Amino acid sequence: MDVKDIKKLLDAVAGADVSEFTFETGEYKLSLKRGIDLHQSVAQMSAPQQLPDAISQLLPQPSQRPVLVSEGERVEPEEETGGHHVEVIAPIVGTFYSAPAPDAEPYVKVGDRVSAGTVLCIIEAMKLMNEIEAETVGTVVEVLVRNEEPVEYGQVLFRIDPG
């Protein structure tokens, strides 16, 4: 199974009215689910034994490069944490949306108090909207991504002060 075949399957599932899809061959098993708790599913995933080279090359690696904080200002992620802020990390690659609709208010802004389960943003991946929720109680101290900006797996999206 090559990358084109996987993309065709994903497009077909995205266009269909299904909540779960599994495709299995002798070598591979592809399982897709819609409307699930993203954090729960990531915790339940086990690492595959070995991915085909074509797929492995497409998977992004967590980035350690500086992140854009505001126009023209760059800050190294480890400099800002100070050891006491909780970082909300992108669990998938996609497009960051700070609000549920283009004309709506953002889910959260700097200074907002959040609790565990509070929706912070949406990351669109493969035409699926994935809500990213806070995992802790605290105050949003930084929003490190602008609306409609692409994000990478492992990229820091928010910093929350749990105090």
Separation between Cα atoms, residue 155 and residue 114, nearest integer Å: 20
- β-partners of residue 73 are 70
pLDDT recorded at residue 153 = 93
Q: How many CB atoms lie within 10 A of CB 157?
A: 21
pTM over 0.75: no
Of residues 82 and 163, more confidence is placed in: 163
Token pair 């800002």 is found at 80
Among 16-20, 79-83, 109-113, whose mean pLDDT is lowest? 79-83
pLDDT recorded at residue 47 = 44
Give the E-state strand segments of 47-136 in sequence order: 67-70, 73-75, 86-89, 94-97, 113-114, 119-125, 128-133
- Structure confidence by residue, pLDDT tens digits, 113-160: 999 999 999 999 998 999 999 999 999 999 999 999 999 999 999 999
pLDDT recorded at residue 48 = 47
Q: Which helix (H) or strand (E) holds 8?
A: helix 3-15
Separation between Cα atoms, residue 64 and residue 154, nearest integer Å: 9
User: Could you tell me the fold of the domain covering 67-161?
Assistant: OB fold (Dihydrolipoamide Acetyltransferase, E2P) (2.40.50)
Tokens standing for 42?
A: 């990531």
| pLDDT above 50: residue 41 | no
- Nearest residue to 139 via CA among 122, 117, 158, 156: 158
Distances 156 to 46, 114, 125 between C-alpha atoms, Å: 23, 17, 17
| pLDDT above 70: residue 65 | no
pLDDT recorded at residue 71 = 41
* Ranges of each domain in the chain: 3-58, 67-161
pLDDT recorded at residue 51 = 53
Separation between Cα atoms, residue 13 and residue 86, nearest integer Å: 35
> What average pLDDT is seen over the chain?
75
